Structure 1
Amino acid sequence: MDLTTTVLMVLLFVLGNVTEGEVLHYNFYDKSCPQLENIVRAGLVPLFVTDPTSPAALLRLMFHDCQVQGCDASILVDPTEGNVSSEMASVRNFGIRKRELISIVKSMVEAACPQKVSCADILILAAREAVAMSGGPHIEVPLGRKDSFTTPSYQQADAWVPPATTGVDDMLHIFTSKGMTIQESVALIGAHTLGVTHCASILNRLYKAEGDKAHQEMEPGFVLNDPTAFIFDNLYYKNAMGGRGVLRIDAEMVSDPRTAQIVKHFASDRDDFFRAFSSAFFKLSTSGSLNQGVIRKRCNVLD
Structure 2
Amino acid sequence: MALSISFLMLLTALALSPLCFAFPHGGPFLFPQFYDRSCPKAHEIVKSIVAKAVAKEARMAASLLRLHFHDCFVKGCDASILLDSSKTIVSEKMSVPNRNSVRGFEVIDEIKSALEKACPHTVSCADILALAARDSTVLVGGPYWEVPLGRRDSLGASIQGSNNHIPAPNNTLQTIITKFKLKGLDLVDLVALSGSHTIGQSRCTSFRQRLYNQTGNGLADFTLDPAYAASLRSRCPRSGGDQNLFPLDLVSPTKFDNHYFKNLVAKKGLLSSDEILFTNSPATKKLVELYAANGELFFQHFARSMVKMGNIAPLTGSMGQIRKNCRKVNHA
Instruction: Give yes or no for TM over 0.5.
Output: yes
2:265 is matched by which residue type in structure 1? M
1:19 corresponding residue in structure 2: 26
SS in 2 for 1:145: coil
- The question of 1:295 aligning with 2:311 is answered no
Tell me the distance in 1 between the aligned counterparts of 2:298 and 2:171: 21
1:199 corresponding residue in structure 2: 204
1:85 corresponding residue in structure 2: 90
Cα displacement (A) at 1:99 = 1.3
SS in 1 for 2:283: coil
Cα displacement (A) at 1:35 = 1.3
Is the 2:137–2:256 contact (alpha carbons within 8 Å) kept by the matching residues of 1?
Answer: yes
Is the 1:18–1:286 contact (alpha carbons within 8 Å) kept by the matching residues of 2?
Answer: no
SS in 2 for 1:293: coil
Residues 212-291 of structure 1 mapped to structure 2, 5 A cutoff: 216-226=239-249, 227-255=251-279, 256-291=281-316
2:311 is matched by which residue type in structure 1? T
Tell me the distance in 2 between the aligned counterparts of 1:23 and 1:5: 22
Is the 2:63–2:103 contact (alpha carbons within 8 Å) kept by the matching residues of 1?
Answer: yes
Tell me the distance in 2 between the aligned counterparts of 1:68 and 1:5: 30
Is the 1:18–1:289 contact (alpha carbons within 8 Å) kept by the matching residues of 2?
Answer: no
2:6 corresponding residue in structure 1: none
Tell me the distance in 2 between the aligned counterparts of 1:38 and 1:189: 28
Greater Rg by CA: 2
Aligned residue pairs total: 292
Is the 1:24–1:145 contact (alpha carbons within 8 Å) kept by the matching residues of 2?
Answer: yes
Tell me the distance in 2 between the aligned counterparts of 1:253 and 1:162: 13
Cα displacement (A) at 1:236 = 0.3
Is the 2:51–2:136 contact (alpha carbons within 8 Å) kept by the matching residues of 1?
Answer: no
Q: Which of 123, 148, 152 is 1:146 aligned to?
A: 152
- The question of 1:135 aligning with 2:144 is answered no
Tell me the distance in 2 between the aligned counterparts of 1:288 and 1:245: 31
Cα displacement (A) at 1:277 = 0.4
State the identity %.
37
Cα displacement (A) at 1:179 = 3.2
Cα displacement (A) at 1:148 = 0.4
Residues 61-80 of structure 1 mapped to structure 2, 5 A cutoff: 61-80=67-86
2:146 is matched by which residue type in structure 1? E
1:43-62 Cα offsets, whole Å, 9 max, x none, are 11111111111000011111
Q: Which of 6, 12, 19 is 1:8 aligned to?
A: 19
Cα displacement (A) at 1:182 = 1.9
Tell me the distance in 2 between the aligned counterparts of 1:55 and 1:185: 20
Cα displacement (A) at 1:218 = 2.9
Change (3 A) 1:63 1:174: same
1:110 corresponding residue in structure 2: 116
SS in 2 for 1:197: strand
- Alignment gaps of 5+ in structure 1: none
1:53 is matched by which residue type in structure 2? R
Cα displacement (A) at 1:85 = 1.4
Cα displacement (A) at 1:167 = 2.9
Is the 1:25–1:144 contact (alpha carbons within 8 Å) kept by the matching residues of 2?
Answer: yes
- Alignment gaps of 5+ in structure 2: 1-14, 217-235
Normalised TM-score (structure 1)? 0.91
Cα displacement (A) at 1:7 = 4.3
Change (3 A) 1:24 1:215: farther
Change (3 A) 1:215 1:29: farther
SS in 2 for 1:223: strand
SS in 1 for 2:20: helix
Cα displacement (A) at 1:180 = 3.1
2:254 is matched by which residue type in structure 1? F
